[in-house]
Each structure stands twice: as structure tokens, then as C-alpha cells.
Chains A and B, each alone.
Chain A
Amino acid sequence: MQDVSVTIPEKSIYGLLGPNGAGKTTLIRIINQIINADAGEIKVFGEALHPKHIGLIGYLPEERGLYKKMKVGDQLLYLAQLKGLSRSEAFARTKVWFERFDIKDWWNKKVEDLSKGMAQKVQFISTVLHQPRLIILDEPFSGFDPVNAQLITEEILRLKEHGSTIIFSTHRMETVESLCDHIAMINKSKKVLEGSKKEVKDSYKTNTFRIEHKGQVQFNNGQFVIKSQRALEDDHFETIVKVEGALAPNVLLQHLIAQTEVFCFEQKLPTMSEIFISLVKAEGDEALLKHLQEV
């Protein structure tokens, strides 16, 4: 990795994006102290990265894995103790999670007897059992059905509310869209984008508005350009308008109200996928473009 510098605000959900091989896993492994960086420095909670921080970090790797022959309960106790919890503390917390996920009868089950989704739940618990201040989730939703994905989403938001910082590494733009506060994008070992979701979206917004209204509309001045117009129902139309120059949205609205009845008016912000695709197009990276269009 070269000159990748990211700042992750505390108590936020931070999306780390980028194609396979971009260096996301390397960065995550460095933060987890699995490997050392050749150069540069990492600061966690304002301090230089130190082995004592291991207990403050929870890590859910993309490639999930548990001891297949080990019982669920024993396994969670073991992993929590490795993170520095005492046995009794680990026991108490495991019980809480078992109740929260309603899996009380799993304690004596072997992992190999669980379904993939069930094992994922266990692994998620093992990631957060020691109440880490920094949680690193690599593709957390892969392998979950929609019901469990929702459950995990709720847990992630709850953990954030309780003060944890969460780093997401993902390909899924809808995850980024709905959960992340901040994002960074890494490509070919370099950072290509970073900022809060709002900042990023604002910087890529195209001043385009979506309007639902009664009857057709027209604009005679050159400041409003109609990109498309179509009938949703008999007399109910949807129009996409791009505002040229630095005109305030209210000016457009005034023009509309003078002409017709308005049902809906919203600024059309680019989706994350659109931003990335445009970004990549600008960089002329064909391989990445293909990748992004696939996901």
C-alpha cells in the first residue's frame, strides 16, 4: 500500500470500499496487528498502535471460520478469553448474547452441526463479545438471509449507539448507502476518495431534481433543462430537471408552482454506485469499472 492515510472518526460507521486486491484486507490486518506495516504509523484512539489495543478491537474476517469440532459455548468463551476477558465475565456476556439472539439451546452444539447462517451468528457474537471499541467487519452480510441481515444491521446500529466505532469493508453499495457515515475508497493500493457520506454526495451532486406533478410542464428559459418526462398515471407526471448555474432549488419550485400542482419535489443525489462509477470513469480504470458494474 502506498500513502494511504485515512482518518476514522470515533463512534461512526466507516465504509472501506474497493475492489478485490485493492489492499483493504492488508489495511485491516495491519490495524489488527496481524501483520506489521513496513512504514507509516497507525494511531488508535489517539495512541500509537500497541499490543494492548488487541482487546479493544473486534474483527470479523471475510473468510469466516470457527473450530468445527468445538462446542459453540466453549468456542465463544475461548475466543473471548483470548481477547483478555476473564472466564466468568466471558460466560456472563455469552449468556446475554444467547438470549438476545434467542439461541439458548446452542451452547452444547458443535459448530459443524450448525448451518452456515447459524455459524455466522456465532462468529458475529465472537467478534463483539468483548465489547470492543473498534469493530472491523469484513463483508458482514455475506451469507446471511434477509431476516438475519436485518438482525445484524440492528445490532451494528445498537453497538454504534453504545459508542463503538465500526469499520466496514464491503463491495455492497446499498450497505454503504444505508449504514455508513463516512467512506474511503481504495484502489490499487491507493486511496482515491474519502469523506463523510454527505460531503461525498454533495461533491458529486449534479443539481438534478425529481418532480411529480399534474399535467405536463415546460420551461422557456435556458436555466432549467428537462432531462426526461413521463406519465406515471393518467395526469400524473414525473420530470427530471437539471438546474444550470447556481440557482437555488426554490427558484425552480416557484416556476413549477406557477404552472401546475406539485405532488413531490426532491433533489436527486447520486447513489454511491453512481459516484464510484463516475469516479472510475474519470480515472480511466477499465478493470475497476467492470468490477463495479458487476456488483
Chain B
Amino acid sequence: MNKIWLIVQREFLNRVQKKSFLVTTILVPLIIPALLGGLIYFAVREAERAKPDVVEILDETGKFSLEDTKRFSIVPVKASLEQAKKAYQQSDHFALLYIPASEDVNNPTGITLYTKESQSVEKIGNLERMLTDKVKDFKMERYNIDKATLKDIRSTEVNIREVSLSDTGEEKSSNTGILYGLGMSLGILMYMFVFIYGIQIMQGVIDEKTSKIVEVIVSSVKPFQLMLGKIFGIASVGIVQFLIWIILITTVTSSVLGYFGMKMPQQQAMEQVTKQMDDDEVKEAMQQSSKMPEFLSNLGSIPFGQVAFLFLFYFLGGYLLYGALFAAVGSAVDSIQESQQFQFPITIPLLIGYFGLFMFVLRDPHGPVSFWLSIIPFTSPVTMVGRIAFGVPAWQLVLSMSLLVAGFLFTTWIAGRIYRVGILMTGTKVNYKVLARWFMMRN
């Protein structure tokens, strides 16, 4: 035990004292808010500065009197199509929209948009929506609905307030959007962490093997102790780095956001940014900000303490489970290049968890697939943290956590048996059959 502790210490100090540790630990929390700040900055600037695109309209029906919007400035033209096209080509206008004469304006056909470059789906979609609205208006009018009624109908908007009822009958308002965002970011973080630190273990094992120090070390400690010491040492580096990041990101992000006059938690800021980018209607953003107090209270209702604890637990569990396997791979090969073939089967379940997170867990957190993904130890770290915020029954958590513990004990046992033989074997051509033989070896 004492010796494992020595190894943990060495692994920890050695990594923490490296310049690269300092650089990543400090740069990552700076880069993320910088990116975020940059995005917000450009989004805001674009919204302020953006000149509407000029769209020429050649309307042969004479009925589509489109109005200017934030995005588009409408310039009606009266000419033949050929002339209009020529004129458009010489202008610096954005596009020429051609609406041919048709017998039934309620079912217009052959509408064409001429542009100089191919345009984004988004912009074309906007124009289509404007025309659709117009046609809808025609239809409404045909059914004798007057303009005022029409406006009233148009402005209809229904908001659902989500309230989750707990077992005790306590009411808590919730917001699926926040939960989705939280679950997604936790899941992605988990995936990245397990992978990055797992690779570090493998790298460390390969280094010891190729530098031949390992023979000296295993004459003092058991290979299994060395493996455990390495795994725990790197885990402690990960946890320290993670905690520093949380502190730095929170401080830096809030100050960056504060600079742009958006004092709000980063989560919401992100949502805001994505909303702004998706939606052309700035109206939407305004509406969003009127929802702010409710939003904040929803955010407050998430049990962050529990989430943080579970995240840490699943990180450790997942890391130990995969870390042991990465250590075994490192012990079997002589170089990173050689490790590729064995990394593959380790990566598969991790990837299944990752895609399962997007395909099932976030869409339907309580569905059967989500349930199984978050119970099975190989996928549970990534998928369970995606579910936590949505509320997971206690028995499922207990089951999943116990299975994860059992899972990493199991993989550590397997890995230990391969590791003890592998680290002393250099220059052997290793395949799965050889690994199996090492595993079965008695001593």
C-alpha cells in the first residue's frame, strides 16, 4: 500500500510539474470563455451592423407586395424577365426573385430565385416562409377573415410551463432545454475526460516499457501495484485539473460575459448564442430575455451538488474501468502506433455511449434504451450523467453505480493479468491470441 502511494505521488508530481500541465490547465479555461466571448461579440456585432440583403422582386402576378424585414430589403422591378436578369447581374443586389404570372395565386408555381452565388438554406427558407405567409394571407382573405382578426391569429403563442411532481407531491418547475444542455455537456465532457486520461495512462505505460525502467521498478513492487499506482496517480491529476478548470472557467466566463452586459450563468449564455444564431428573428431573442427570471429559477432548481458529485463518481468509475484497459494495451505494445489495433475495441463501447447519449438519452431520458445504456458499466458513465439532470430513480442510480464499481474491478483484474506479463515482453508480435495466453498464464 505504501509503495502504491509512492507511485501515485510520483505520477502526480511528475505530471503536475510539467510545463504542458500548466499550459493546458490555464489555457483551456481561457480559451473556452474567449471562444464564447468571441462568438457573442460577433453575433452581437452582426446583428447590429447587418445590412439587409436587397432582393429584387419581379412579380408578374402583382399581388405579392412583400414588406422589408430585418433581413431583406425588397425592391420591386418592372421589366421582362430577361431585362430584369441583366439589370440584376450588373447590380450588387443579393438576389432576384421571379414570381411568374399564374392563374391561381393561392397555388403559385415556378417561383425562381436567381442569385450570383449559391445561397444558404437558411436565407432561402426565410424567403419561402415570407411567400408562404403571403399565400396564407390570400387564403385567409378568401375565407373572409379580416386583417385585424388575421393579425390576432398570427400573434398567437402558447408557452407551456413545465412542472415536475416529486413523489412527495412537491412541485418543481423544470425546463427541458436546460436539462438537455446540461446533460449534453456533461456527457461530452465525460467522454472526453475518460478518453484523454485513458490515453495518458497508456502513454505512461508505454514510456516505462520502452525506457526499460519497468524491470527495475517491478523488482521493487508488484506489476499490479505499479499499474494501480499509475492509474490513481493520473486520476488525481485529472481531478485536480478538473477542479482548477471549474474555478477558472466560472471566474473568467462570468467576467467576460459581464463585459458584454450579460450577467448570467454560462449555460444560459450558450443557449442564448445558439438561439441567436439559429433564429433570424431578433424578436425571438427579446422574448427569450423576458423569460429570464423563470429561466434563472429553473436553473436554480437543478441540484447542482448532486450533479457534481455524480459526475465525479462516474468520471472516476469510468476512468478506472477504461483506464485499466488502456494500461493493459500499453503494456502489450512497444509504441503508440502499435497500440491502435487494441485501442479500437476499447473505444467502441465508449463511442456507443457517446452516440447513445445523442440518439436516445437526451431525446428520451427515461426510455428503455436510455435505461440500459445508463445501467451497463461500459456505457453508463457517459449516458448516466446525461440523464442525471432529468431525474433518475434512486434504485437505478444505485444499480448503475454498483455495476460500475463491479465493472472496474473486473476490468482491472483482467488488465492486471495482461499487464504483468506484457510489460516485460519487448519485441514480441502481439495479437489477441497472445493476449489471451498472457491472461491465462498462471504466474
Q: Does A260 contact B (CB under 8 A)?
A: no
Q: Does A7 contact B (CB under 8 A)?
A: no
In the bound complex, what is the Cα–Cα distance between A34 and B6 (angstroms)?
Answer: 19
In the bound complex, what is the Cα–Cα distance between A134 and B160 (angstroms)?
Answer: 79
Quick one: closest A residue to B426, CB to CB?
Answer: A63
Contacting pair B219 A54 (CB below 8 A) = yes
**Please, which residues of chain B bring their CB within 8 A of the CB of A68?**
211
Given A35-B443, A82-B221; 4 other pairs, CB 8 A cutoff: A54-B219, A65-B212, A67-B211, A68-B211
Contacting pair B211 A65 (CB below 8 A) = yes
In the bound complex, what is the Cα–Cα distance between A66 and B208 (angstroms)?
Answer: 8
Quick one: closest A residue to B442, CB to CB?
Answer: A38
**Out of A57, A59, A66, A69, which one reaches B14, CB within 8 Å?**
A69
Question: Taking the nearest CB of chain B, how far is it from the CB of A138, in angstroms?
Answer: 9
Given the known interface contacts A54-B220, A82-B3, the answer about A65 and B10 at a Cβ–Cβ threshold of 8 Å is no
Contacting pair B220 A38 (CB below 8 A) = no
Question: Taking the nearest CB of chain B, how far is it from the CB of A282, in angstroms?
Answer: 34
**Please, which residues of chain A bring their CB within 8 A of the CB of B10?**
78
In the bound complex, what is the Cα–Cα distance between A36 and B217 (angstroms)?
Answer: 16
Quick one: closest B residue to A60, CB to CB?
Answer: B216
**Out of B14, B214, B442, which one reaches A70, CB within 8 Å?**
B14
**Please, which residues of chain A bring their CB within 8 A of the CB of B218?**
34
Q: Does B247 contact A (CB under 8 A)?
A: no
Chain A interface helix/strand/loop/mixed: loop
Given the known interface contacts A36-B443, A38-B443, A70-B14, the answer about A82 and B220 at a Cβ–Cβ threshold of 8 Å is yes
**Please, which residues of chain A bring their CB within 8 A of the CB of B219?**
32-34, 54, 57, 59, 61
- Which residues does A use to contact B, with CB under 8 Å? 29, 32-38, 54, 57, 59, 61, 63-70, 78-79, 81-83, 123, 126
**Please, which residues of chain B bring their CB within 8 A of the CB of A37?**
443
Question: Taking the nearest CB of chain B, how far is it from the CB of A120, in angstroms?
Answer: 12
In the bound complex, what is the Cα–Cα distance between A205 and B208 (angstroms)?
Answer: 48
Given the known interface contacts A57-B219, A82-B220, A82-B221, the answer about A66 and B213 at a Cβ–Cβ threshold of 8 Å is yes
Contacting pair A63 B14 (CB below 8 A) = no
**Please, which residues of chain B bring their CB within 8 A of the CB of A83?**
220
Question: Taking the nearest CB of chain A, how far is it from the CB of B193, in angstroms?
Answer: 24
**Please, which residues of chain A bring their CB within 8 A of the CB of B212?**
61, 63-65
Q: List 28 A-B contacts (CB under 8 A).
A: A32-B219, A34-B218, A34-B424, A35-B424, A35-B443, A36-B443, A38-B442, A38-B443, A57-B219, A59-B216, A61-B212, A61-B215, A63-B212, A63-B215, A65-B214, A65-B215, A65-B216, A67-B208, A69-B14, A70-B14, A79-B217, A79-B220, A82-B3, A82-B6, A82-B7, A82-B217, A82-B221, A126-B216
The tally of CB-CB contacts under 8 A between chains A and B is 58
In the bound complex, what is the Cα–Cα distance between A17 and B183 (angstroms)?
Answer: 64
**Please, which residues of chain A bring their CB within 8 A of the CB of B221?**
82
**Please, which residues of chain B bring their CB within 8 A of the CB of A54?**
219-220
Quick one: closest B residue to A64, CB to CB?
Answer: B212
In the bound complex, what is the Cα–Cα distance between A81 and B3 (angstroms)?
Answer: 8
Question: Taking the nearest CB of chain B, how far is it from the CB of A54, in angstroms?
Answer: 6
Question: Taking the nearest CB of chain A, how far is it from the CB of B351, in angstroms?
Answer: 32
**Please, which residues of chain B bring their CB within 8 A of the CB of A35?**
424, 443
The 4 closest A-B pairs by CB, nearest first: A65-B212, A36-B443, A82-B220, A65-B213
**Please, which residues of chain A bring their CB within 8 A of the CB of B214?**
65
**Please, which residues of chain A bring their CB within 8 A of the CB of B220?**
54, 79, 82-83
Contacting pair B443 A34 (CB below 8 A) = no
Quick one: closest B residue to A30, CB to CB?
Answer: B443
Question: Taking the nearest CB of chain A, how far is it from the CB of B6, in angstroms?
Answer: 5
